[in-house]
Every structure is written in C-alpha cells, then in structure tokens.
Structure 1
C-alpha cells in the first residue's frame, strides 16, 4: 500500500502544482527564432517571462484611450500613472535581486563602495589589482526606472572579469527629475572621475569607456557627442551602446511595427512604454503623457513640415526594412497618423534637440570608437542599426553586433541566458582590447 505524502511533502507537491498551473495559464508561445540559439535559453525564458508579466506588466499596463489593440481597454490594479511608475520600480528592483550571480565565493576580489561625486550618487567596483582603465556605466529603464542596485550583478561581473575599475551612476529619475538634469548628473559624475580618478583610484583618464544600455545608451551617446562638440579633453577612449534608445521622432519603424504584430502582451519593452517614459523625460506631466501616447506611437506628434528632413536623417530605414525580415514574418504597413496638435506643440521644441534625441545630430565626425549591440526582437533595434550606419559613414570606427535571437535588456539576464552571457563576454573582450 502506498504511503501518503508527509505534511511537508504535501505542501511542496501542492506548491509545485499551483506554480505549474499558473505557468500553463500564462503561457504564450514565443515567435520562431526568439532566443533559439539555445533550446535551454528558450525554455528558461518561457518560464521566466510569464513571471515578469504577472508581477510587472499586468498590474500596470496603461489603459490608453485609443489603443491599437482593443483588449488593452480595461482596468488594471494600478490605474493611475504615478502608481504604475511606483509599482514598476518596486517590482523590477525586487525581481532583479532574484537574478545572480551571487558573490559568496568571490568575496574580497572586488571592493564595492557607494559614494557621492559632485552631488551625484555612484557605486564603484574596484578589483584588488585593477588595470589603469575605467568603465563608466549608465543604467537603462526609460529614464524613470532602474538603479545601481538593479544592475549590480552586471557591473560587478564587468569589474571582476575585466579587472577594471567600474563606476555605475545613480542619476536622478523622471518624472521627478526631467531633461536635461538627468543627463547633467551623468556628466558631473564623469567629470569627477576624470579629475579625481588618477589620484583616488589610479585610473588613466585617457582610458575611459562609457557604457549605457537602453535609456542609459541615450545618455552615453549624448555625453560622447557633447564632449566632441565642446572639444573636451581627455577624449573618451570608446563608447558601448547596448540596445540604445536614440530618438522620439519615428515610432513606426519596422521593429516597432513588428512588436505590435507579434510581441504585444509580452513583458518586453513596447512602443507604448517608450512613448510614455520618453515624454516623462521631456517634462510632460504624467496624466498628459498617458493621454498623448496613442498619437505619439503613430507619429502624430511630428509636424508635417519636418517629415522630409526626417526621411533624410533616417534614410537607412529602407535598407533595414528590406533586409531584416524576422524569418520572413509579414510586418504590418505603417498605420495612419493620429494627428495631435497638442502633442506637436508640446514636443516640437525638444524632440529634435540632439541632446534629447541623439540620432538627430547631423555631424558625427570625431566620435570615439564605438560598439553598438542591437537585438532582433527589440522595439529599439532599428535606431541602433541606423546610428551604426551613420557613424560608419562619418568615418567613426564602429562595430555592430545584432543578436539574431535577442530581446531588449537581455544582458540583465546574463547569469540565466547563455546567449546574453556570451554577448557580455564579447563586449568585455572588446573593451579589454582597448586597454
């Protein structure tokens, strides 16, 4: 006769059944090609993505008045934008702590300290026998989310494996702080490193590489451009832009339209969030930003007289649309523009400012050596590719890595996804060659 399960065994078994049932209910098949370099990666993502969707996405999906997909017209746990921002910060920071690597066995190899540089909070990672180079890391999160704590696993690994001093900048976030103050925080921290770094940390100020992901890639790009424009010395040794957010003038590029077709409803960076958080960075009040999203994601915020200029600056779009076809998956045609004079009057003074949309800067000559990482299944893929092409045309030594199976922010899962870990290793090797 089979013995019944013990009480602890019953609890464990019941918990397993509940978790399995929840995953089955939440399961959404990923598109072909997505994270397919490793079958284990795809399995892990199929397990992890529903958890992110459950705790991060579902409570805060913005119930826009005119969504492209009607099922988004509903009520959610946090219906007020301020509450959505609060929950998103809390949930993502909490989820980040569940991902490694954990550092029990490398205790003492990297000295980690929090500090204030020129009024800006930073976290430094200094290996015991660091070489003279330095990495300045600017985290992503749509200018409104993220922290040095959320990225601590990534930045600590970079410091340890490259044996290089790393500083992660905890710039102030939107909507509490808006453009250009977030950018100026990063510049102040960089200025401190250049001035004080040789004495305090033994770094060589001519060997500083600036790294940023997503919105942090925007800030890193702008800093590099501004330093060239001001002829600031010493010059940056290089810039590394990880799936960077570079523009707010065309939210109907093919990578945006593919997301609406195949990835809507997944817990990945979507066009609505890009529009919403970018407007907060621009200083648009949260309720107004929420209301204007439907117009912005169809380019209704662009005045007609600017469209010819944009076609010239973004001319590489046509090449991308003809060569990056998502395994021949049909991408929707451009939607009709939902014009908004309110959005046009509000955003026109800022979205063409290259300090806000760095893809709009016309002269790119003289920029430092550049590595750009894009991901095939990322809303922001096309703008990273366009910027890489424009840099090459300007004579800048530029390398583009497009992760054929990748998705936005995947390097945050460098300890879980083998392709993300491999990409991070390639990035670190590229930086090491400079030093």
Structure 2
C-alpha cells in the first residue's frame, strides 16, 4: 500500500499533498458549469423569443426580428400594467413609446421648429428655408401613424421625417398632434385634423408662414394615412374652402375594416409590427367597440351575407376585381353566409367612410387631388392601398403607386441608428422625391 505524502498547512492542519485548497474568489468547476448552462439556456430562450420566420425578401430580417421583439415586449408590459389595474394598456404602451423617443422642438440652420396650436389642436411646425427668388414656400400637412392610439408628432421618428421633408423641399411642414384613444374615440381624431388643416388654410395663416396657397399637400402613414385620406375627402367636398389641396400622399394607409381576409391579410397574418389580430384590435379600440368581437371580425362575421348594411359597401372593395392576378394568386375570398349582425349594430362606424375612406362613393373620389400611395409587400394593409389606387384611377384621379417588395409596415420612419433599415431609407427618399416633383 503506497503512502501519500502529507503537508502541514497554516493553523496546524495536516493534509494529503494531492489536495489543493480553492483559492479565495475563484469559482469552483461545478459553479462555472452551472453558470454556463444557465447562460446557454437564457441565450436559447432569448433567441426563441426573438426569432420569427420571415420571407427571405424582407429587408434586414434579423434587425426586423429585434425591432418586433422590442415592440412585443412593450406591449406585454403594458398588458400587465392594464391587468394590474394601474393604467389602460394603450396609455401605458404610448407612455413607453413616447418616453423612449420624445424630442424637443429643436431648430437648426436649415429648419426652424416650433410647437404651437391651430384652433386648439397642437401642431409642430417645421419651416424650411425659402428658395432664392421664391418668396412663397410649398407646404405639407402631416399626420402620424400609431393605430389612432400611439406615437406623437414629437417623437424623433416623425420629427426627423418632417424635418427632412421641410429641409429637402424648402417647405413648411405642419405635423398634427391629434388626440388619441383611449382619451377620445372616432370621430374625434378626424375632427382634430380637419380643424387644424382648415385653420392652416386660412389666407392670413398661409401668409404668416409664407406658404403658396396653390402648393399645399396632405400626407400621413398607417392610421395617419387613414386620417389623411378622410381629410382629403372632406376638404375636397367643402365648398366654403377657397384653398384646395394640390396633392395627397398616403403611406401604407389603413382604409377599411370590412374585409380582414384580403390576400395581404391572409399572406401577412402574423407579420411583424402589425399582425392581423393587432390591426383588428386597433379598429375595435378606435371605434370604441367590444373586444368580444375581435375573433368574429377576423373571419369577416361582421360583414356576412345576412348583414344587409354591409353587403352593398363590400362591393366597393371587391378585391377579386380590384387587384391584379399577381396579387390575388390562389387566395380565396372569405365571405360568410351567416355571421354576427350585432357587431355592425353596435359599431355602425365600421360602415362610415370617415373611418374607412376606401368605401366612399365614387362621386367623392373623383374630386380628390393627384395622389401618391406607398405600399409594402410584407404588410397586412398592402391591399387597402392597392384597392384605393384602383378606385381612384377609375374615378379619374392621377395616381402614383409606389410598391416595395422588401418593405414592411412602418418601415419609412426607421431610417436612423439603431433602427435604420435599408428599405426605410429608400421609401423615404422615394416619397420625398415624389413630393418634390409634384407639389
């Protein structure tokens, strides 16, 4: 039997020489292994949460996954706050969005920025420098997106967009800070933008800002595109307004709530940023409806054949006739024989052209100005824009349809780090170029 050498440690303790005391502060191998396992599990969990299958054609897919995960996290936090009774989920979500990106009215040598109000409606005004020899400037009234409930004219995404338009066009941009759900509901938002725009169109106000009354356009994205389209229809029909609009530019606008199964809704049902169920909930919130209706609306039970009020209007957005075969592909219309007539009875605003400009009468559409519509392939709202373009063309309106195959909903405002997308920069440049050439 071999004898093991012994050695005496401090304090008089004898131990076998093969024993090595653990140096102070050095983690044990077992603890290191546990930490590695835990870290690996956390990374795998994060990857599982962030990863969503995306088409290969979408712009910057991994960056989009991270953006979508961030937005989903903010939504889940706001849902928890709502569940705990601390605040309404939309108020909580908007607080997070605005707090992380609010920007003060900061002027530069190229653009003067001021916060004011037009007839009681808050606005942020961006004044570009006039061109030499042109004392009067072009102007754009801009309406931000956010599901009628989120964002602000004062967050950096819209501040940067409007400042870029003002600078590159030497224009005056009026960005409207309309009131939001749940503090107000339809039609308060459209009333705000109409009131602010009519105030701006007064001769004395245009004179104050050195704006050419013959070179004024309106524009907006997403829900802001919806409000801009409704605004355009109201302005064009107002016989009391001397100054009319020269152009309207609608960026991936939401234009109808009668069919949530158009080809783009079917194709992009779970697309990032704006999946179908989120869009339907925005509609229910905007029109102060019941959340119990959401599931029924996603399968078009609110516009079934037994709901007489909706049948005639659905003919105005018959996508089998309004969309080309390259878009309809093998998708089939979802038309229920029997549905839930109670939805339209309780939310009749679904059939109001002020909320759904796509269903406006043809006589209204024919008075609209030259129109630009930007659509994105990976967006549930793609077909809303395509159908509106077709209806406007049929009414004799000159339309430019600008479609981006790698675009996703909301992309145009994401142009600066860390949310800088290549398609965001291209869509913004294309949009500004069209305004420069047509306004």
Q: Calculate the TM-score normalised by the size of structure 1.
A: 0.80
Between the aligned partners of 2:429 and 2:386, the Cα distance in structure 1 is 21
Of 211, 219, 223, 1:215 maps to 223
Find the residue that maps to 2:347 and give its secondary structure. Answer: helix
How much does 1:332 deviate? Answer: 8.0
CA drift at 1:324: 2.2
Q: Using the TM superposition, name which of 128-137 and 376-385 deviates more.
A: 128-137
Deviates more, 1:215-224 or 1:18-27: 18-27
Cα deviation, 1:46-100, whole Å, max 9, x if unaligned, reads: 33332233233x3356xxxxxxxxxxxxxx5643796321222122224445xx9
Deviation readout 1:406-425 (Å, 9 max, x if unpaired):
11111120220121111111
Residues 333 and 365 from structure 1, CA distance in 2 versus in 1: closer, same or farther, beyond 3 angstroms? closer
Equivalent residue in structure 1 for 2:206, among 193, 198, 209: 198
TM-superposition CA deviations, 1:325-380 (whole Å, max 9, x none): 6xx8x7687486883343131123x2222112111112211210000011111111
Matched with 2:93 is 88
For 2:260, the equivalent position in structure 1 comes to 251
Matched residue, 1:229: 237
The yes-or-no answer on 1:45 pairing with 2:52 is no
Aligned counterpart, 1:68: none
Deviates more, 1:368-377 or 1:355-364: 355-364
User: Which shows bigger deviation, 236-245 or 406-415?
Assistant: 406-415
The answer as to 2:190 corresponding to 1:179 is no
Residue in 1 that maps onto 2:77: 59
Partner Cα separation in structure 2 for residue 178 and residue 271 of structure 1: 21
- Is residue 2:409 matched to residue 1:425? no
| Structure 1: gaps (5+ residues) | 5-13, 62-75
Is the 8 Å Cα contact of residues 250 and 373 (structure 2) preserved in structure 1?
yes
Equivalent residue for 2:277? 272
The residue aligned with 1:129 is 130
Q: Aligned equivalents of 1:308 and 1:291: distance in 2?
A: 22
- The structure with more radius of gyration: 2
1:28 to 42, 51, 61: 51
Aligned: 1:357 with 2:356: yes
Q: Deviations over 1:287-335 (max 9, x none)?
A: xx2222112222222353245424421123455373126xx8x768748
- 5+ residue gaps, structure 2, are 1-24, 26-35
Q: Which residue of 1 aligns with 2:327?
A: 324
Q: 1:154 aligns with which of 144, 161, 165?
A: 161
Q: Deviations over 1:158-202 (max 9, x none)?
A: 212222111100011122212222111111111121113332110
Aligned-partner SS, 1:323: helix
Distance 2:218 2:310 in 1: 32
Distance 1:428 1:87 in 2: 33
Q: CA RMSD in A?
A: 3.1
What are the superposed Cα offsets for residues 143-169 of structure 1, whole Å, 9 maximum, x if unpaired? 111211122121112212222111100
> Does the 8 A contact of 2:226 with 2:357 survive in 1?
yes
The answer to whether the 8 A contact 1:298-1:337 is kept is: no
Q: How many residues align?
A: 387
User: Is 2:315 the counterpart of 1:312?
Assistant: yes
Q: Is the 8 A contact 1:120 1:188 kept in 2?
A: yes
Distance 1:336 1:308 in 2: 11
Would the alpha carbon gap of residues 304 and 103 (structure 1) be closer, same or farther in structure 2, given more than 3 Å must change? closer
